[in-house]
Structure 1
Amino acid sequence: MRMFVLNDTNDLGVAVAEMLSIPVAPHEERDFKDGEHKARPLVSVRGKDVYVLQSLAGGSVASVNDKLCKLLFFIATCRDNGASSITAIVPYLAYSRKDRQTKSRDPVTTRYVARLFEAVGTDRVITLEVHNIAVFQNAFRCQTVHLDVRKLFVPVIRRLAKELPLIVFSPDSGGMKRAQLLKETLEAVQGKEVGFGFMEKRRSRNVVSGELFAGDVKGSAVFIVDDMISTGGTMLRTAHACRERGAKAVYVFATHGLFNPGCEALFNSPAVNRVVVTDSVPLSHQTGSEPHAKIEIVPVAALIGEAIRRLHSNKSITDLLGDED
């Protein structure tokens, strides 16, 4: 096995390698003055099972397109140099939100990205919490592995809820299945019923509307869950609605903390007690600054490392996927 970690996701990659008790294989990355770049392994990959880790969130240093190209080119050169198999570990998979046509002549970018991975010889793609798992699985013709983070969130939710009644809440109807599965996971662990709710959201030409609110949150600890936080506007809108209806505490949970410009309002609002994300995206990827005091980070290295261990030894990964029985 060879595990390569591209520079933009170095901390997470090193943690995964430590979980596997293997060294990170050396590689070279060079950027040229005209904007081109190259990356290559510095050890032989011939006959090896190669794992390449790179998260694809754009930031102030490198765009999502730069990171995607670098990852694709690195996979291609490993294929050209005789790798036996190549697995792309992409904790945050860019363009997964653009999975269907919502306007006339819209691109279906998720499918195009899948074709790019296939074209360079990728055998398997591992990711965490894509926007729509069915679209992800159908877009790729190579093997896909969608790791589930619900079990990582459960102990954090139980600690934060304390003795308050617990409500899992979706900020829009599209995320109801995600919230429902988290609710069921919590109920299985706690042995008692967990509340559920959702809020209506419609977006057209970047204008958000919809006021329907379903669920009784009065006196409860509300946990709003989504796949990602970009500017945090959707989460903050839902948090305010929960507070107006008597929620005792409101916590925001997401797998991917993109935290693009505008997210400061989420952190500064008294409506939100805490924001919990994983380290699938380096929190300094936008500004290079330290995480806000309101953010709590849940590490995913153990989950990714265990998936790699089992895949490499041809063992079952079913309990890591979060599939329904």
Structure 2
Amino acid sequence: MIYEEKTIETIPVGPLGLIPLKSCDELGEKVNQYLIAWRHERESEHKSTIAFAGYQRDSYIIQAQTPRFGSGEGKGSIEESVRGDDLYFMVDVCNYSLTYSLCGIVNHMSPDDHFQDLKRVIAAAAGKARRINVIMPFLYESRQHKRSGRESLDCASALQELTSMGVENIITFDAHDPRVQNAIPLKGFETVQPIYQFIKYLLKEETDLDIDSDHMMVISPDEGGMKRAIYFANVLGLDMGMFYKRRDYTTVVDGRNPIVAHEFLGTDVEGKDVLIIDDMISSGESMLDVAKELKRRKARKVFICATFGLFTNGLNKFDEYYRNGLIDRILTTNLVYQTPELLSRPYYINVDMSKYIALIIDNLNHDASLSDLLNPTKRINRLLDAYRKNRE
């Protein structure tokens, strides 16, 4: 069944309200367009009842502002009534393209600034909403998810802070470590994998792939991403390999121990297409080292798939590796800010997640199960069958 055409079996929790913060403007508008289209097309005998008041709208976006004073301090405001609404706040904490003035100096917004703005707008709802949900694709402080010695536990603290403000559900994508949800065991927390979308967009662009264990392989660039790669490999019916990072623990550079070498564990990759799977590309150093090692082992094509493409050190190194034939494609999602330069690269594939987010919101608003959405195995199998049939 196509999810957007499903019949209505439950009444909505409340009128749907979508509040994308400025960091999520473009993604929020795409999600809004899907919701408008589905709900205008959807038929139900109950839609004229009072329980479905406000079900069909020209827009579900509720305008919110987060202006700053000259001192750099901010405030949040919501431009219309949200009493009784089922609200979905969307925020991209990685959107560094936004700026604000601090005593006449232009500052780029950091993840801390975005998180504070999210709390301000939630506070502006003043407890009047029926339910508050947060869609935060890149989980704030998710890289600081565990404590080593005398360190802060920022991600756990942030989750507790949100739930103390009345947030009932937190939807994130590919959390660095999903166990951080133990900090809020009585609240809804979903970490979503975009595996189906990666395969869908890769198969759109690459028409000559043989998706079987003789011709393709899934690679985890480190031991931390093993679970992700195992799931990906099992769904596609492929073999899996792994690199582990040998580090110099006597030295600290930029807050971490430098990598000495990448050691490979797995079967022969010669002549195979390989998918390197990870949650994010930060500087990209690890991914590029792994790609180089795979090409040295005579892999045919190298595809890099990462949910979040941050590219903190720019794109020059990726351009160089593409020119030298060390990488063939890079796939990242539009869940975080993408620079115009990135979108213009010939090797880059932009994986649009707006439809998936709209489906999640639509189901949550009806208090419907997310199980089928979170487990994409059936959809992936249909996609692979259609791809193979087109190649015959």
Do the two structures share a fold, i.e. TM-score over 0.5?
Answer: yes
Q: Which of 147-156 and 304-313 deviates more?
A: 147-156
Closer/same/farther in 2, CA of residues 19 and 84 from structure 1, 3 Å limit: same
**Residue in structure 2 matching 1:48, options 65, 75, 85:** 85
Contact residue 21 and residue 91 of structure 2 kept, 8 A: yes
How much has 1:289 moved relative to structure 2?
4.4
| Distance (whole Å) between structure 2 residues aligned to residue 89 and residue 291 of structure 1 | 24
Contact in 1 for aligned 2:246/2:262 (Cα 8 Å): no
What is the CA distance between 1:65 and its match in structure 2?
A: 0.6
Amino acid corresponding to residue 16 of structure 1 in structure 2 = V
**Does 2:26 align with 1:15?**
no
Q: Does 1:276 align with 2:331?
A: yes
* Pair 233,245 (structure 1): closer, same or farther in 2 beyond 3 Å: same
Question: 5+ residue gaps in structure 2?
Answer: 1-15, 37-56, 98-107, 378-392
Name the counterpart of 1:150: 195
- Residues 196 and 376, structure 2, Cα contact 8 Å, conserved in 1: no
What TM-score, normalized to structure 1? 0.90
1:45 and 1:256, CA in 2 relative to 1: closer, same or farther beyond 3 A? same
Matched, 1:310 2:360: no
| 1:8-157 to 2 correspondences below 5 Å | 8-21=23-36, 23=59, 24-60=61-97, 61-78=108-125, 80-102=126-148, 104-133=149-178, 135-141=179-185, 142-157=187-202
Does the C-alpha gap of structure 1 residues 65 and 280 become closer, same or farther in structure 2, counting only changes over 3 Å? same
How big is the shift at 1:89? 0.7
**Residues 313 and 199 of structure 1, relative CA distance in 2, 3 Å threshold:** same
Distance in 1 between residues matched to 2:23 and 2:152, nearest whole Å = 27
In the alignment, what sits opposite 1:183? 233
Hey, what does 1:191 align to over in structure 2?
none
What SS does the corresponding residue of 1:123 show, helix, strand or coil? strand
1:31 match: secondary structure:
coil
String of CA shifts for 1:37-56, please: whole Å, max 9, x gaps. 22211110111111111111
Change (3 A) 1:128 1:93: same
The residue identity in structure 1 corresponding to 2:225 is G
How far apart in 2 are the matches of 1:154 and 1:70? 34
Tell me the CA shift for residue 58 of structure 1: 4.8
What letter is aligned with 2:165?
V
CA distance in 2, matches of 1:136, 1:319: 23
Letter in 1 for 2:231: L
Shift in Å at residue 114 of structure 1? 1.1
> Is the Cα contact below 8 Å between 1:154 and 1:186 reproduced in 2?
no
**Seq. identity, %:** 28
Moved over 4 A (4+): none
Other structure's SS at 2:81 match: coil
Residues in 1 aligned to 2:207 and 2:217: alpha-carbon distance in whole angstroms: 9
2:239 aligned with 1:195: yes
Change beyond 3 A, Cα 1:46–1:180 = same
State the number of aligned residues: 312
**291-300 vs 157-166, greater mean Cα deviation:** 157-166
1:231/1:263 contact within 8 Å kept: no
Q: Which amino acid aligns with 2:137?
A: P
AA paired with 2:129?
A
CA RMSD of aligned residues (A): 1.9
CA drift of 1:249 comes to: 1.1
- Return the offset for 1:263: 4.5
Superposition TM-score, scaled by structure 2 size: 0.75
Which of 190, 211, 217 is the matching residue for 1:167?
A: 217
Paired residue secondary structure (1:50): strand
C-alpha displacement at 1:70, in angstroms? 0.2
**Residue identity opposite 1:47 in structure 2:** G
Residue deviations 1:251-274 (CA, integer Å, cap 9, x gap):
110011111124431232131111
Structure 1 residues 202 and 161: CA distance shift in structure 2, 3 A: farther
Contact 2:95 2:337 in 1 (8 A): no
Structure 1 pair 184–5 and aligned structure 2 pair: CA distance change class (3 A): same
Local SS of the residue matching 1:181: helix
Q: Which moved more, 1:206-215 or 1:295-304?
A: 206-215
Counterpart amino acid of 1:181? Answer: Y
Work out whether 1:321 is the aligned partner of 2:374: yes
Q: Is the 8 A contact 1:73 1:120 kept in 2?
A: no
Q: 1:190 — aligned with what?
A: none
- Tell me if the contact between 1:96 and 1:110 (Cα under 8 Å) persists in the aligned partners: yes
Alpha carbons of structure 1 residues 157 and 167: separation in structure 2 relative to 1, 3 Å? farther
Match of 2:259 among 208, 213, 226: 208
